[in-house]
Structure 1
Amino acid sequence: MHFKLIIVFVDDNKTDKVLKAAREVGATGATIINNARGEGIKQQKTFLGLNLDTQRDVLLFLVEEHLSRKIIEEVSRAGLFDEEPGSGIALQIDVEDAIGVLHQAKKITQSIETEL
């Protein structure tokens, strides 16, 4: 099996919605890193030195490559990434090797067979 790592940066109030959407199209799990900060084209405003920006979460999905495009598109749709500027971004990178995912191989294989 070949894997992709989907990395999603999303407002923390959309994390659950994005997770649910990813699971519905084949993601078998995720790692969530809370309270990340990011800055886009415009610098964030501060008030007495405190940031007024919303908190972000980083979601990491290790997925089989045949499912990756569908998952990333669904994540984008659920998070409204193209409709609301600053709501989040998603990207995927190739994974050369992965260990510790054999327990998920049966489920992943079934999902791929359904897709193909």
Structure 2
Amino acid sequence: MRFKLLIALVSDEKTDEIMRVAREAGATGATVVGDARGEGLNPKKTFFGLTLESQRDMLLFLVEEHLSRKILERIAEAAGFEKNPGSGVAFQIDVEDAIGLGGQIMCLLDEVEDEL
């Protein structure tokens, strides 16, 4: 089985919704890194050096490659990336190797067979 790493950077109030839609699309779990910071095309305003914007979370999903695009599209839709510039970003990268997924592979086999 081959895997992709999906990385989504979203406002923290969207994290639960993103997790829900990713699971519905086939993700078996995620790692959430809270309080991520970033800066887009237009820097945000500050007040005495404090940024006046909500915190971001970084969500890391290790998913089977046949499910990755569907999950990525659901994340983008739920987060409103296309409708709301600056609302976040999500992307995928190839995973060369992974260890520790034995329990998830059995769960994925049935679902991936339908995709092939």
Matched, 1:24 2:34: no
Structure 1 runs of 4+ with >3 Å offset: none
Matched, 1:66 2:27: no
Shift of 1:104: 0.5
TM-score (norm 1): 0.97
Name structure 1 gaps, 5 residues minimum.
none
Name structure 2 gaps, 5 residues minimum.
none
Equivalent-residue separation in structure 2 for 1:70 and 1:5 (angstroms): 13
Equivalent-residue separation in structure 1 for 2:84 and 2:111 (angstroms): 31
Q: Which amino acid aligns with 1:21?
A: V
Aligned partner of residue 100 in structure 1, secondary structure: coil
Matched, 1:99 2:99: yes
Shift of 1:53: 1.7
Aligned partner of residue 40 in structure 1, secondary structure: coil
Equivalent-residue separation in structure 1 for 2:48 and 2:40 (angstroms): 21
Matched, 1:41 2:41: yes
TM-score (norm 2): 0.97
- Alpha-carbon displacement from aligned partner over 1:55-109 (angstroms, at most 9, x marks no partner): 0000000000000000000000011111111111100000000000011011111
Aligned length: 116
- Alpha-carbon displacement from aligned partner over 1:5-29 (angstroms, at most 9, x marks no partner): 0000001010100110000010000
Q: CA RMSD in A?
A: 0.7
Q: Percent identity?
A: 58
